[in-house]
Amino acid sequence: MAMATALVRSTFLVNAVYAESAREYGLTPQQGQLLCVLMAQPHGMGELGAMLRLAKSSLTGLVDRTERNGLVRREPDPGDQRAVRVALTPEGARLAEEFYVGACRRIEELPAGLSDEERGTLVALLGRVVRDNAVPELFGEPDDAR
C-alpha cells in the first residue's frame, strides 16, 4: 500500500470510529471535537476557528447549536471586552469526559493486531508527522485533557 493510500484510508477509519462514538453520545463529530478542545480550558472564537479550521460563520453555527444543547456557554473575555470565550457547562464537561474516554478506548483498539513494539513505533512515527506539520491539539493526551 502506498503512503498516501495508507494515510488516507487510516484517516477514514479513525474518522468513522470517532463519528460512531459521537453519535452514541448524541453529538456530531464537530461537536465532539469542540467539546474535546474545551476540556483543557475555554477558548476565544478566533482560537477555536484556527484550531478546528472552520470559517467564522461555520464556527458560530457550531457554537450556537452546542450552546442550545446546554453543553457550552459564551462568557466575556477578560482580556478583550469585545470578545467572548467559549467554555463547557457542567453538563458539557460531564459529556465531554464520557465521550473522550469512549472515543479514546475505541481508537486505541484499532491497532489491536500489532505487538507492543509495533504500537510504540506507530505512535512515535505518527507523533513525528503530527509535530512536523504543526497539527493543532484537538484531541489531547488522556492525562492532558483532564
Is the pLDDT score of 144 beyond 80? no
What does the domain layout of the chain look like in residue ranges? 3-132
Q: What is the pTM of this model?
A: 0.86
Of residues 143 and 22, more confidently modeled:
22
From the list 94, 88, 96, 91, the residue with the least C-alpha distance to 32 is 96
What is the spatial distance between Cα 95 and Cα 32, in angstroms, rounded to a whole number? Answer: 9
Mean pLDDT, residues 4-26? 95
Question: Which element (helix H / strand E) includes 22?
Answer: helix 3-24
pLDDT tens digits, residue range 98-120? 999 999 999 999 999 999 999 99
Return the HEC string of 42-83.
CEEHHHHHHHHCCCHHHHHHHHHHHHHCCCEEEEEECCEEEE
Do 70 and 92 meet the contact criterion of CB atoms below 8 Å apart? yes
| Residue 13 in grid coordinates | 477509519
Q: How many angstroms separate the most distant Cα atoms in the chain?
A: 53
Please name the CATH architecture into which domain 3-132 falls: Orthogonal Bundle (1.10)
Is the pLDDT score of 44 beyond 70? yes
> How would you label 79-92 residue by residue, b for 16+ Cβ within 10 Å and e otherwise?
eeeeeebbebbeeb
| pLDDT over 90 percentage in the chain | 81
Mean pLDDT of the chain: 91
Return the pLDDT at 76: 92
